[in-house]
Chain A
């Protein structure tokens, strides 16, 4: 069965510092990968997606992620975080033409002043 792992449940970081949120997936076939962000009391918003092509994907709000097939990883990075980046971040995967999106458990990013 396909699964998505986010090893860090919480990541505290100071403002203007870089951050990396880790995501690993397990699958024996190609997958499509996504990062979503959820601010308090809101729905999920798409940050970026990997469907094919360049393994370095750029998204909104200065975030980027790198698809690494050999390590089955899709880590999210930002070179300099802001207080407003404080939120829950979910990594998700979907198999080719699969109907179901599998979400990781989430990582709580707390940006400290």
Chain B
């Protein structure tokens, strides 16, 4: 199993809604990431978890709240989002931040539209 699975694939929400994006991997990876990607742009790092602890928060607004319940799961809780938050949200995992051969494996993404 060499996949990173993201759900839902598409999400439409209003600015007052609360929703969550989910990510799951069963490759035994110990680092998990959230990236945000706008159209025709590269992915931008939001958060990194290493061994289920938050390692990097790239100054992301508090309306985005990450959670790593265990080594296989990563959630992104969304609340009071703005239309400019509409984007493709990509989850990724890698073996271990301390290893030289640390390579990102991406999921297919969750396309979020905020109305």
Contact = CB atoms under 8 A, between A and B. Distances in A.
A51 B100 contact: yes
Number of chain B interface residues as a range: 20 to 34
B90 interface: yes
A99 B56 CA distance: 8
Q: Which 3 residue pairs across A and B have the least CB separation, nearest first?
A: A103-B42, A43-B106, A44-B106
Contacts, number: 60
Contacts of A108: 40
10 contacts: A41-B109, A42-B108, A43-B106, A44-B104, A51-B100, A97-B99, A99-B97, A100-B48, A105-B41, A106-B41
Interface residues of A, number: 25
B62 interface: no
A14 interface: no
A103 to B, nearest CB: 4
Interface string B89-101: 0101000011111
B98 to A, nearest CB: 6
Contacts of B108: 42-43
B25 interface: no
Contacts of A34: 103-104
Interface string A26-68: 0000001010100001111110010110000000000000000
Interface of A: 32, 34, 36, 41-46, 49, 51-52, 90, 92, 94, 96-97, 99-101, 103-106, 108
A44 B105 CA distance: 8
Nearest to B43: A103
Given A51-B101, A97-B97, A99-B56, A104 B106 contact: no
Nearest to B102: A94
Nearest to A42: B108
B23 to A, nearest CB: 11
Interface in B69-115: 90, 92, 97-109, 111
Contacts of B106: 36, 43-45
A46 B56 CA distance: 23
Contact of A32 (B6, B31, B100, B107): B100
